Structure 1
Amino acid sequence: MKLQTVTIAVNGTPVTAEIEPRELLVHFLRDHVGTGTHIGCDTSQCGACLVRIDGETAKSCTVLAVQAQGHDVTTIEGLGTPKELTPLQQAFMESHGLQCGFCTPGMVFAGQALLDRVPNPTEEQVREALHGNLCRCTGYQNIVNAVLLAASRGIQAAGASGDSKEGL
């Protein structure tokens, strides 16, 4: 298969690579950027691969990397730093919503997308917003608590937008 050169702005930095046209964005990110975006299923079932594309939440396993060319992609590495967490990341830490950490990037993006749309959600709204994200090691309560804690502090905008983009 002929390789194609793509350039994608990831966390504000252009990343150029030669890839097969069939390569998924999630694999591009892990192979060329960092390992914060997780691969849980490659079938749009688990939400571990959530990122933002042009400010909208998207499952990166549903997007070909070539489709992301010319778009701005934000991964979990682009949200905060270990020394300066985003408010929602801080709430996850304080509420022990991290567990093993595998689902955390997707949960943070899903939670932030909700808070951008609904600044003061109910527990039911939080659970519905997290519905497409699987956590294999918890009953979700601490994750729900983290989103509710962030909401109670009036945390809305960490730069995310609430819409969902699948397959661009």
Structure 2
Amino acid sequence: ETDTDTVALVRNNLGYFLTYENLYSTWRDLGNDFSIAHVRYGLATFKRNIAPERKHVFDGILNTLDTSLSKLGTTDAARTSAIKKLLDLIDDIPTDGKQGYDVLGYIYEYLIEKFAANAGKKAGEFYTPHEVSLIMSNIVADHLKGRDEIQIYDPTSGSGSLLLNIGEAVAKR
């Protein structure tokens, strides 16, 4: 943060600035020296480095994380352990682009599926399993092939995954 020109440049382009000490890779490199205090400091630093004209976009975006830290354990040591386990899980996520699918989209869809399965009928009754979505997408894409322009309407759009799958299936044809 001492290089104010770089901070201003990044903040103007992204709407926020992350300091080196608050990067995921830096936290991983700390090994056993990492603690929950790094997360708290990182959250405070992020809030401080949001561009004023982008406050409406980013301000409060991490409030749930901030207020939920206490739920990760009864002591700071327990919270640190929980965060370290989370960092280990994140480390296992392939991010090199070689997997041929949208990793974050896959994770999001996986979490939505688990939420629907655990929430019972009320919350999960409108969830379309990924496999069904893919079959529907291929049927629609086959029907639409050869057209210069298409319009798709999904009144139950929810997460939008069906529309994304249809878009990918149409693009292949």
The answer to which structure, 1 or 2, has the higher relative contact order (CA under 8 A, 6+ apart) is 1
Same fold flag (TM > 0.5): no
Question: More strand per residue: 1 or 2?
Answer: 1
TM-score by length of 2: 0.28
TM-score by length of 1: 0.29
